[in-house]
Amino acid sequence: MALELGLWVWLLFAAGLGALFVLDLLALRRGPLRSRHALLRTLGWTTLTLVFAAALWRFESPERAGDFVGAYLKLLPVESIFVFAAVFNLLGVPRELQARVVLWGVLGALVARGALTLLGIQAVEGFGWLLPTFGALLILVGVRRLSGARGSHVLDLRPFKRFLWRTLRVEEAGEGERFLVRRGRAWRSTPLLLALVLIEVTDVVFALDVIPAVLAITTDEFLLFAANALALLSFRSLYFLLAGLTERLTYVPLGVALGVIFAGVKLVLTPVWTMPTALYLAVYVALLLVAALVSLRRGASPSGAAP
């Protein structure tokens, strides 16, 4: 059962998130987020998310709050940390310019994932058999990812880079924080725009795995909108907090792949058993935490580098 909310609630929530986005945009003038500021912002976004969940618990029900938290954690783009880091390394984007790309990348992902979520809701409500079908596909995708989880963290971006470099007519030299530059009568792209496009393309690829799993938790439009927005808007600070650890978190892609398989199992079982959100959430978080802890432990050991 969906939340019965008036249009004013949607508008108020969207206006609040829009104001936070504008503040983040203005904060770009201060330069890249340092570790301390990234930690404080991450804690701030986490607090805001918990307050929203507590309000759902108080004024709706514990089940609604659990669905929101489950959708939020599933929509939090953990893999995108590796994607962003790989793109910036591939294109040599300096840290002081990364914040601008991350922020606009988050905005693009918010729109793209929102559209995919709405399409998914309509499809699932019209064709109930889609959820088990999506589940079987997720299991296949997760198993395939297991084979490459200890290799490259992300897709091989080099073919995309070569194709987009020619298509977007990228200037060899960067132009500060600008995405486009004018050369005579023609507009040319900068490496920053190429980085943004690469990020958006790979995020859509990962979203195709995430959206079906989220729809198994809830199909409530407002809960999904809120979870998607808060997860993506909190990502910027989380990225700058963890970007320096991507080379050490070698087992996290393995944990994510196992999470994809588990989400597929949940979807396949939907016709005969609805897995409690709390159980699904506990297993998913445990997989990520164990993967992160094993990565850091192996990385800190003398023989430490992951094979």
| pLDDT reported for residue 224 | 92
Per the rule left: phi > 0, alpha: psi between -120 and 50, beta: everything else, 184 is: left
Task: Provide the number of structural domains found in the chain.
Answer: 1
Question: pLDDT, tens digit, for every residue of 22-34?
Answer: 776 676 556 666 7
* Domain-located, residue 122: yes
φ, ψ dihedrals at 199, nearest 5°:
-65, -45
Residue 151 vs residue 108, higher pLDDT: 108
In a domain, 60, yes or no: yes
Asked whether residue 304 is assigned to any structural domain, the reply reads no
Cα gap 300→304, rounded to integer Å: 6
Where residue 97 falls among pLDDT bands split at 50, 70, 90?
Answer: confident
Give, for 189, the enclosing helix (H) or strand (E).
strand 186-189
More confidently predicted of 199 and 5: 199
Q: Where are the alpha helices (DSSP H) in the chain?
A: 7-27, 35-59, 62-75, 78-91, 95-126, 130-148, 158-167, 191-215, 221-233, 235-242, 252-268, 277-300
Q: What's the rounded mean pLDDT across residues 223-240?
A: 88
- Tokens for 216? 């198994």
Q: Inform me whether the pLDDT recorded for 155 exceeds 60.
A: no
Give the range among 117-121, 192-196, 300-304 with minimum mean pLDDT. Answer: 300-304
pLDDT of residue 178: 82
User: Sign of dihedral through CA atoms 85, 143, 223, 111?
Assistant: positive
The pLDDT value recorded for residue 210 is: 85
C-alpha Rg value of the chain to the nearest Å: 20
Spatial neighbors of 39 by CB under 8 A, at least 6 apart, are 237, 241
Average per-residue pLDDT for the chain: 82
Q: Does residue 13 fall inside a structural domain? A: no
| Residue pLDDT, tens place only, 67-93 | 999 999 989 888 788 888 888 888 888
Q: Which two tokens stand for residue 35?
A: 């570790």
Q: Is the pLDDT of residue 139 over 80?
A: yes
The proportion of the chain whose per-residue pLDDT surpasses 70, expressed as a percent, equals 87
| Domain membership of residue 292 as a residue range | 18-299
* Whether 149 contacts 257, CB under 8 Å: yes
Distance CA(92)–CA(89), nearest Å, equals 5
- The tokens of 64 are what? 């609604």
Q: Is residue 82 part of a domain?
A: yes
Selection from 98, 236, 110, 91 nearest residue 168 by Cα: 91
Residue 187: strand pairing partners:
182
Q: Which of 117-126, 145-154, 196-205, 228-237 has the lowest mean pLDDT?
A: 145-154
Token code pair at residue 291 = 């993967």
Predicted local confidence at residue 287, as pLDDT: 92
Q: Strand pairing of 180-183 and 186-189?
A: antiparallel
Instruction: Give the burial string for 107-123 (b: 16+ CB within 10 Å, else e).
Output: bbbbeebbebbeebbee
Query: Please, are residues 231 and 72 in contact by the beta-carbon 8 Å criterion?
Result: yes
